[in-house]
Amino acid sequence: MNTRVERLSGHPARVVLEVEVEPERVERTVDAVYRRIVRQVRIPGFRPGKAPRPIVEMHLGKDALYVEAVDELVPQAYREAVRAANIEPVAQAKIDIIDFGAGKPLKFKAEVDVKPDVQLGQYRGLAVEKRVRKVTEKDVDEVIDALREQFAELVAVDKEKVEPGDYAVVDFEGHIDGQPFRGGAGKGEILRVGDEGILPAFSEQLVGMAPGEEREFDVTFPEGAREDLAGKTAKFRVRLLEIKQRRVPEADDEFAKDLGEFETIAQLRDDRRKRLEEAAEQAAEAEMRDKLLEQAVNNAQVELPPVMVERELVRMKDEFEYSLWARGLTLERYLQASEQTEEELLERLRPSAAQRVKSELVLEAIAKAEQLEPTEEEINRRLQELFASVQDAKERERLMADEDNRAGVRDSLRRAKAMDFLVEQANVTVVQVDPGEAPSEGPETGGQVSEATESEAAQAETGAAAEQESSARSE
């Protein structure tokens, strides 16, 4: 088989393979196709599998066997040509059959986007700061306070009157035009007085009530309430059962003991301080590695095939949709909250997608230049971690043996080794950063978009939570 490789001018990451398969191989494939088909077709006057080839060709059409043979040969020959040309396709090839037939070679062209060549710049001995944020007593205080809030309890209090911020335990029932309505009654309901999620007019009527007191009052639902309630007036009868307040435990030895791991509050503080320091170290390490990779990428030259960027863009969109789903949101709600279209979101993500692709290509080029390869043991260990949750042993073995899975893990580990190599070869200066000190500038592409989408997602999440709570209160 002969293969000629041509790189298209103006498209350095796109090649055309001109492939010629010798006539002898074509004929062997045609014979194999004939032997398979002759057992399947029914031809009058011949037992299955006994019709001569000329008769089969007359029955099916002169070129039928050759067409079937070409369908088998082209994928095989294409894969062989790719290996011979030492290229890595990143998309489906566009195949153009040039010529085939009896006594002729099979000729075809395959146009395909491939992984581009990377011209590495400096990547050894890069200078970088590792900025570790100092952990202060205020940081520890905030963590302890948050922990106390988690263990806060509602306790009954001996108070004469309900005040804003109190929790009122009430029985209530409401009617619209003399008829009960869905969500209009409750027994022993706990309502935080002054909570924005409660109808303001309802909450205001609870202020000043004494335990055991009953009140009747009217409440008009706002236009934004549930459709069957919006704009309507309900008559409520409410009985206050008791008043509760939220009690946060003191930050003392007793609180530390209640957690089950500590004897004193000092031990608890030491533990949380250590965790904060470990988190600060991990964050500083991650930031330092990002800045190192950014330098290596900026020092390299590579032209990205659009198909690789588009594929990464789809992957990033899927990741973002999953993160929204984990928050109970949808992409539609996010787009509505951020006042943008899906097309606008993708355009904002595009620079980050391109940076991701370029980073992967540069790391792969470094791994190749430094001959950094994972061992089979490392690949198997990682595959075992990935498929540890698969209960069926045979299915787990099949997944671990799958060539695509192994290739994906091999590439991932190779890039990880290249990243570790960058760190090992770098000139790292550790800097202790005071809280409030301006952070160093991160990567110019991707980071800002990620922060923006995260902020907008948080806004959408807040809006959704408020809407759901308001709807629940209305019910």
Per-residue pLDDT at 201: 85
348 falls within a domain: yes
Per-residue pLDDT at 448: 45
Average pLDDT over residues 443-465: 52
Domain with 322 in it: what CATH number? 1.10.3120.10
Does residue 446 register a pLDDT over 70?
A: no
Per-residue pLDDT at 43: 77
Same domain? 243 vs 289? no
Same domain? 356 vs 413? yes
In this structure, are residues 1 and 22 in contact, taking their beta carbons and an 8 Å threshold?
yes
Same domain? 242 vs 292? no
Average pLDDT over residues 236-242: 96
Same domain? 274 vs 375? yes
Same domain? 452 vs 377? yes
Average pLDDT over residues 111-116: 92
Per-residue pLDDT at 363: 97
346 falls within a domain: yes
Strand bridging mode 233-247 / 167-176: antiparallel
Per-residue pLDDT at 415: 96
Better-predicted residue by pLDDT, 90 or 449:
90
Domain interval for residue 302 = 256-470
Look at the pTM and tell me if it is higher than 0.75. Answer: no
Same domain? 344 vs 435? yes
Average pLDDT over residues 361-372: 96
- Residue with structure tokens 């809280």? 435
Average pLDDT over residues 265-278: 97
Write the DSSP string, 170-214: EEEEEEETTEEEEEEEEEEEEEETT-TTS-HHHHHHHTT--TT-E
Q: What φ, ψ does residue 238 adopt, rounded to 5°? A: -125, 135
186 falls within a domain: yes
Domain with 54 in it: what CATH number? 3.30.70.1050
75 falls within a domain: yes
Least confident of 199-203, 213-217, 274-278: 199-203
Per-residue pLDDT at 35: 78
Same domain? 430 vs 293? yes
Distance CA 222, CA 229 (A): 8
Same domain? 236 vs 379? no
- Residue with structure tokens 């491939």? 114
Per-residue pLDDT at 177: 93
pLDDT digits (tens, 9 = 90+) for 131-189: 999 999 999 999 999 999 999 999 999 999 999 999 999 999 999 999 999 989 999 99
278 falls within a domain: yes
Domain with 166 in it: what CATH number? 3.10.50.40
Of 273, 293, 284, residue with least CA distance to 446: 293
pLDDT digits (tens, 9 = 90+) for 309-363: 999 999 999 999 999 998 888 899 899 888 899 999 999 999 999 999 999 999 9
Strand bridging mode 11-21 / 106-113: antiparallel
Same domain? 83 vs 211? no
Same domain? 313 vs 409? yes
Same domain? 162 vs 240? yes
Among 57, 88, 113, residue at a domain's last position = 113
147 falls within a domain: no
Q: Which residues pair with 168 in a beta bridge?
A: 191, 243
322 falls within a domain: yes
Tell me the pLDDT band of 469, cut-offs 50, 70 and 90: very low
Least confident of 126-130, 251-255, 467-471: 467-471
pLDDT digits (tens, 9 = 90+) for 95-109: 999 988 888 899 999
Same domain? 70 vs 178? no
Among 113, 128, 145, residue at a domain's last position = 113
Number of domains in the chain: 3
Does residue 440 register a pLDDT over 70?
A: no
Average pLDDT over residues 254-273: 94
Better-predicted residue by pLDDT, 462 or 232:
232
Cβ atoms < 10 Å from Cβ of 33: 21
Q: What is the mean pLDDT of the chain?
A: 88
Q: How far is CA 236 from CA 172, 203, 213, 262, in A?
A: 7, 12, 14, 50
142 falls within a domain: no
Burial bucket for residue 439 (CB in 10 Å: 0-12, 13-18, 19+): exposed
Among 228, 247, 266, residue at a domain's last position = 247
Does residue 232 register a pLDDT over 50?
A: yes
